[in-house]
Amino acid sequence: MTKDVYWMKRALVLARKGLGTTFPNPMVGAIVLDSLGQKVGQGYHFKAGESHAETIALEQAGEKSKGGTLYVTLEPCCHTGRTPPCTEAIIKSGIQKVVMATPDQNPLVKGLSTKILAQHGITVKVGCLQSIAEKINRVFFNWIVHQRPYVVAKVAVTQDFKMGTRDSRLLISDPMMERTTMKLRKGANVLMVGVGTVLTDNPKLTARSVFEHPPTLLRAILDPGLKTPVDAQLFKSSNPVWIFYDENHRDLDHEKVRVLSKQARLICLKARSGGIFDPKDILKCFDHQLHGGILIEGGLKTLSHFHDAHLIDEWVIYISHKRFSQFAQKSEALSLAFQSPFHLLLQSAIRRARDLEVVATNVYRDH
């Protein structure tokens, strides 16, 4: 392992500390070494509007940064937004070398910061652990490039590919998978489920208290007939709730519309035949500047609709070591995900005790 790789890995660890708190800004970590190669400063970006990672690390280093090296996971900003340009702070600090993992995709920054630093005699190296840095900020880059939310679908199945119902969920889930689920939720801005999940599980749909800074997670419920109970668990959290419904649904209770409108934002969409919303219409309701990442934890019906519309960027599939053959309900989520032309690119397969966590991205996601 080279010195650059070693320090960039540590900077990436710092960057991940901003998970769930930085959007619409990217997650960034930075480390400063003095002229002798000793660490004298470090930092990460915690929240939009607050100090950037580079600034924090340089302020911590102070005069010791002169003649030193800055490791940063993303190209530093060179424009004035909520905070001053990081390039100015780098130049003033006396840093002689900057090692960055990946260029910023923001057209206000991309390549410009590198040129500015080079013009001031600073050696710049780009591309150290670039693929890892890009993966960490895939939601941010997707927002910058495509101006739309990044959609992740999470599904849990038994070894014989049955989806978890209320009775079988205990067999599929375990504490390790539960924590991974909470981490996925923290990295999202929106958690989306179908009304079937609400009626079956009555979930809270929060990231709970496993994190020091739980995110403000918007819960989105796809509920054409407005069947969400007014006393559902999800209303007991202060996090906002959006309910998508069809005002022309034959079973619509207008008194319930009045009651639920006090607990949630009700969004009226026209459902297609069979009471199904067009997933593209759903995504148009979200502001990509506020809702950059959407996590779908719905059942087979919700997942199928987004799959059929080619609107899922990434699949996270938990495969339990247990079998549940006695249930008649067959899970088709995996077979749907792997049917041509919906090809997936395997990103990782991690053993979780005796279970398996598979992460794959959609090669042909429609933009």
β pairing state of 241-245 and 344-352: unpaired
Chain centroid, CA 262 distance in Å: 29
54 carries an active-site annotation:
yes
Residue among 54, 75, 297, 314 flagged as catalytic = 54
Strand order from edge to edge, sheet including 150-157:
265-268, 241-245, 218-222, 190-194, 293-296, 150-157, 314-319, 355-362, 344-352
The number of beta carbons lying within 10 Å of the beta carbon of residue 310 is 16
User: How far apart, in whole angstroms, are the C-alpha atoms of residue 190 and residue 142?
Assistant: 15
User: How far apart, in whole angstroms, are the C-alpha atoms of residue 53 and residue 212?
Assistant: 19
C-beta of residue 163 within 8 angstroms of C-beta of residue 169: no
Alpha helices in the chain (DSSP H): 3-16, 53-61, 86-93, 112-119, 130-136, 138-146, 169-172, 175-186, 195-201, 254-260, 279-284, 300-308, 333-338
Could you tell me which residues come within 8 angstroms of residue 112 by beta carbon, excluding any fewer than 6 positions away?
78
Amino acid at 28: V
Chain centroid, CA 61 distance in Å: 31
Alpha helices in 67-215 (DSSP H): 86-93, 112-119, 130-136, 138-146, 169-172, 175-186, 195-201
Our separate counts of H helices and E strands in the chain read 13, 14
In the numeric block, which tokens belong to residue 324?
């549940």
**Which residues are known to be catalytic?**
54
